[in-house]
Structure 1
Amino acid sequence: MKLTYKNDHELEGELIGVRRNLHREPELSYEEFRTTEKLRAWLTNAHIHILDLPLATGLIAEIGQGDGPIVAIRCDIDALPIEEQTGLPYASEIPGKMHACGHDFHTAVILGAALLLKAREHELPGRVRILFQPAEETGHGAESVLASGGLSDVNAIFGLHNSPELPTGTFGTRSGPLTAGVDRFEIKVKGVGAHAATPEKGVDTIVTAAQMITMLQTVVSRQSSAIEPVVLSVTRINGGFTWNVIPELVELEGTVRTYNEEIRREIPLQMTRIIEGIASAAGAEAKLLWYPGPPATVNHGEWADFTKQVASNAGYKVEDIPLQMGGEDFALYLQQIPGAFVNIGAGPGYALHHPQFDVDEAAILPAAKYFAALAEQALKKLQA
């Protein structure tokens, strides 16, 4: 597929083609080799310079010249381990893998913005970095991008996510916190296995784990302020192998979502006290394994307001959206670079990560035009 930009109608058709091409061949986090090859070919065909960086998957391109300011626009390129159930003619051809979060939509949008910016390259008062990020779904893809040095001299950065909750033509963001900090945990409960008919001869890990699940909810309801958003969800229980044996080991897994960093640091300590206390009372042992993910995404107020003004000028219906408990590793960029993360309406439809998820492709071209305008106007703002 060779991409050209002659008029809006042709560009829209090509960007929809890009989105469907990627949708057919989804790749999971850190496996986006074919996707990266496609992007490299499309960008090269458009004579867009690609930076030489130590990235195994994903890439950063650059448009513009000179010593002026540098703005980055970012999309994510990885898919999810979900079996698609849409029945679309361009549905995933890879069993058990699907673009169920719309990263194919994001990629088409930012690629379209790159083509539009390339057409105005000599008028840009600086440079635009086009970031196609791998492994967002792991919560750690941004780390590899930052480590590559590809954003070390960027003055402002912007990213997007499609929203099935917002109708097409609607734009949403907010100043300050937008998405939550995301952490994963595992709890291993070890007791003494026994026949179900003689539980007194063992230490019951099932009962002990059940008490832990119940008591862990007090971290939110009784140990955190009622005005601070906190979610603690146990999402997996694994224990036992037959109906008449009390197992020696039970494993729990789940996630914690927070906005307040002080509360975020305190929660694993609170959880440890609970699980160790319950385990001790039961004569069992318990261990908490904590896996930190990305922090809360905190938009810089000046740039969030700027994105809304550009969106309004572009014809979007602009909304201040509520806090979201989902996570986003774009947060790591905003810890180092001023900028903002925004939502582009592409619904209504099934929720993100649903096997029947799809986006309204009519939202692709307007979003591409928006991000091209946002990048150019941000350069002018920085230059001024």
Structure 2
Amino acid sequence: MIDFFKESKDIFSELVYIRRTLHKNPEVDRNLNFTASFVEDYLKKNSIEYKRFDNCGIIAEVGKGENIVALRADMDALEIEDLKDVEYKSLKKGYMHACGHDAHTAIQVGAAIILKKHENKLKGRVRFIFQPAEETDGGAKDMINYGALEGVRAIYALHVDEKLHTGTIGIKKGMVAAASNPFKIIVEGKGAHGANPQDGIDSIYIAAKIIDNLQGIVSREISATDSAVITIGKINGGTAPNAVARQVEIEGIVRTIGEELRIFILDRIKEIVNATAKMYRGYAYIDIVESYPSFSNDNALYEKFIKNFSNSGYINLIELEKAEMGVEDFSYYTKIVPGLYYRLGCRNEEKGIINPAHGSYFDIDEECLWIGTAVQCINAFDFLNNHN
């Protein structure tokens, strides 16, 4: 039996180097030329076959045969200032790996290196999907269009989690993450002098009523045991403090768990926006974007994961009680093939690694790198060799 934990620990210094190099050179969306080239160098050095695409995504493979399992890593960073005082601090002002995708990429490269060494023992192929644009508009869709899931029977992904201590893995049975629907509302009124509001139709007043009424959906129209959030994040309107505003723009996002609830809330948003505007003699236009869907872990893959790691001497495996209200474009893969997504603990209070993701002080305990590498190797190897 291959000891993937030992082999991963043996390349720990390499994993740290990969992660820190990427952390110092963050790139966003599909503009990942340095990142993709850096990954390519490792694939070439280890004689791993791959193809790079126009969006800077990469698909690599080891092994032979028609039985295929995929591992996915997202590679993009965020437009956030890195304020940490560390030697691997971002070299690009205003850009930072604030969500741990540098760690995901390092783990994926490590898994590819190790599984390449053992490809003669694989009963099939492991496909490594290095994906851009998870933080923007869903690079998973690009990779699917490029054929990333052709012939794939299952796909695995992880995400570092600063709320879980290093050595802990969190996994959720069933529903894992929310769906998201960004929206934009334009409220049209009629401009007038502020001293004579009766001559106008106040779009700011209407917008305030719309915002208030929308929050009533979650607080009064769905069960307290259902999960939904309506966030209004941006408002823009008016031209002068002494004028009744003609137009207001409102932008927000809806997050829901479950398709039935999502459809209900989106329908109610449209009804409330239109009815509220009409009530105060205005007009409203609403555009709702179809964004990331919610997704669930496959039951068979979940049970296999529990069996493989519940008694591991390296991992404290815990069951996550609630689905995340954050979204994840891994959901696009799981609409096509069975998938499993889990949280890899990276918190270390003794090292001061306690800060939240998407924040300027986010960091990881790098000990999680070899653990994640080993777990991904085991997932792929076990699926190909032991999964019916």
User: Is this a same-fold pair by TM over 0.5?
Assistant: yes
Partner of 2:16: 16
- The CA distance in 2 between the partners of 1:268 and 1:287, in whole Å, is 14
Q: Which amino acid aligns with 1:361?
A: E
> Are residues 286 and 314 of structure 1, via their aligned partners in 2, closer, same or farther at CA, if it must alter by over 3 Å?
farther
| Residue 374 (structure 1) aligned to one of 373, 376, 379 | 379
Structure 2 residue 314 is matched with structure 1 residue 315: yes
Q: Is the 8 A contact 2:203 2:245 kept in 1?
A: yes
Partner of 1:292: 290
- The CA distance in 1 between the partners of 2:231 and 2:282, in whole Å, is 23
User: Residue by residue, what CA displacement relative to the aligned partner does 1:215-248 show, whole Å, maximum 9, x if unpaired?
Assistant: 0012212222333211111111112344333322
- The CA distance in 2 between the partners of 1:18 and 1:151, in whole Å, is 26
| Shift of residue 8, structure 1, vs aligned partner | 5.4
- The CA distance in 2 between the partners of 1:254 and 1:352, in whole Å, is 21
- The CA distance in 2 between the partners of 1:97 and 1:199, in whole Å, is 46
- The CA distance in 2 between the partners of 1:119 and 1:241, in whole Å, is 65
Q: Which amino acid aligns with 1:344?
A: L
Q: Which amino acid aligns with 1:79?
A: A
- The CA distance in 1 between the partners of 2:290 and 2:313, in whole Å, is 38
User: Residue by residue, what CA displacement relative to the aligned partner does 1:75-113 show, whole Å, maximum 9, x if unpaired?
Assistant: 100111111222222111112211111100111111111
**Any idea what SS the aligned residue of 1:156 has?**
strand
**Any idea what SS the aligned residue of 1:137 has?**
coil
User: Residue by residue, what CA displacement relative to the aligned partner does 1:159-192 show, whole Å, maximum 9, x if unpaired?
Assistant: 0111111000000111210111111111111112
| TM-score (norm: length of structure 1) | 0.93
Partner of 1:3: none
Runs of 5+ in structure 1 lacking a partner? 1-5
- The CA distance in 2 between the partners of 1:221 and 1:248, in whole Å, is 30
Structure 2 residue 362 is matched with structure 1 residue 335: no
- The CA distance in 2 between the partners of 1:9 and 1:334, in whole Å, is 30
What pairs up with 1:30-45 in 2 under 5 angstroms? 30-45=30-45
> Are residues 255 and 314 of structure 1, via their aligned partners in 2, closer, same or farther at CA, if it must alter by over 3 Å?
farther
| Shift of residue 55, structure 1, vs aligned partner | 4.5
| Shift of residue 254, structure 1, vs aligned partner | 1.1
- The CA distance in 2 between the partners of 1:244 and 1:164, in whole Å, is 48
- The CA distance in 1 between the partners of 2:246 and 2:146, in whole Å, is 45
Partner of 1:357: 362
Q: Which amino acid aligns with 2:371?
A: P
Partner of 2:63: 64
- The CA distance in 2 between the partners of 1:357 and 1:41, in whole Å, is 27
| Residue 94 (structure 1) aligned to one of 77, 92, 95 | 92
Name the stretch that deviates more: 243-252 or 170-179.
Answer: 243-252
| Residue 179 (structure 1) aligned to one of 164, 177, 180 | 177
Runs of 5+ in structure 2 lacking a partner? 1-5, 349-353
| Shift of residue 314, structure 1, vs aligned partner | 5.8
Partner of 2:351: none
| TM-score (norm: length of structure 2) | 0.93
Q: Is the 8 A contact 1:310 1:370 kept in 2?
A: no
Partner of 1:143: 141
Q: Is the 8 A contact 1:216 1:274 kept in 2?
A: yes
